[in-house]
Structure 1
């Protein structure tokens, strides 16, 4: 399998998020024409990408609850931000953590379909768990009234 074929296996996935994170998502993601006291992200997946980075930065890896308590985006990773390289950037970050995922690039060429499926599942779980940790962090800040409204909110938190 080539790296491009491997990437295509990842890009067709739709990561999940905990339903308990919906309140913070509704406050920070633009869901229609509703206004908010906070600067809003566009679609939910845009907020999710930043939550993933925040979860990594804060070292907050939090497993998702059972599947019946989660939702997916209805949009595959490959369709997130199609006009930018942000998805590729996120994948590059993920691949730098290959030891944590249990993936070795050198093994890719010799992997069978079941092994590829298992690795892709680990990559998606990795993304989901760090995004969940980032969303939990945001939820805590929201509950404490500590989210500061600014166009640079995530940059400020990332510092």
Structure 2
């Protein structure tokens, strides 16, 4: 499992470029460590997510909880961001990794015996699966945002949206 996790953490996840504007609307991209007191700075400080990877992790967890993976072609349709091994907190990254393993069609008895190449291939499969669930989560968020444009500006709504999410009917 150690080798597979190491390979997974060294992968670059992508998010669908079609959600880039939406993600940036919810994510702090400006440096807010120095205060100028401007309205723009206050708006930036109030954003729900401190970074793109936090928004991506949230969307992934939402997609997993809703059991809502959506196909996603990586290539030109994807936007790269921070490598998985740099995501924090570690326990949340671990939770996502274990969730993806549980959802994967892969015999657990074989995990410890993977070769480097097999582990790398499986890690890429897990990363793609994570991207599918993230895309599903982003779609759910975008739909909710269309219904209520300022919904995700309230941190409490972010928590309750995830808490109340139920698996979608197949």
TM bin (shorter chain): 0.7 to 0.9
Displaced runs of 4 or more, over 4 A? none
Cα deviations across residues 45-102 of structure 1 (Å, max 9, x unaligned)? 00110100111122221111351121111x2111111x542211221222222xxx22
2:12 is paired with a residue whose SS is coil
Between the aligned partners of 2:46 and 2:135, the Cα distance in structure 1 is 20
Cα displacement (A) at 1:147: 4.7
**Paired residues, what number?**
152
Contact 2:63/2:135 (8 A) holds in 1: yes
> Is 1:88 paired with 2:94?
yes
Cα displacement (A) at 1:37: 10
Q: What RMSD in Å do the two structures reach over aligned CA positions?
A: 2.1
State the partner residue of 1:65: 73
Contact 2:28/2:47 (8 A) holds in 1: no
Cα displacement (A) at 1:36: 5.2
Q: TM-score, normalised by structure 1?
A: 0.84
Q: Which moved more, 1:27-36 or 1:6-15?
A: 27-36
**Any unmatched runs of 5+ in structure 1?**
none
Looking at CA atoms only, which structure, 1 or 2, has the larger radius of gyration? 2
Matches within 5 A, 1:118-129: 118-129=121-132
Q: TM-score, normalised by structure 2?
A: 0.79
**Any unmatched runs of 5+ in structure 2?**
32-39, 165-170
Between the aligned partners of 2:60 and 2:135, the Cα distance in structure 1 is 7
When residues 128 and 87 of structure 1 are mapped into structure 2, their CA distance, relative to the original with a 3 A threshold, is same
> Is 1:25 paired with 2:23?
yes
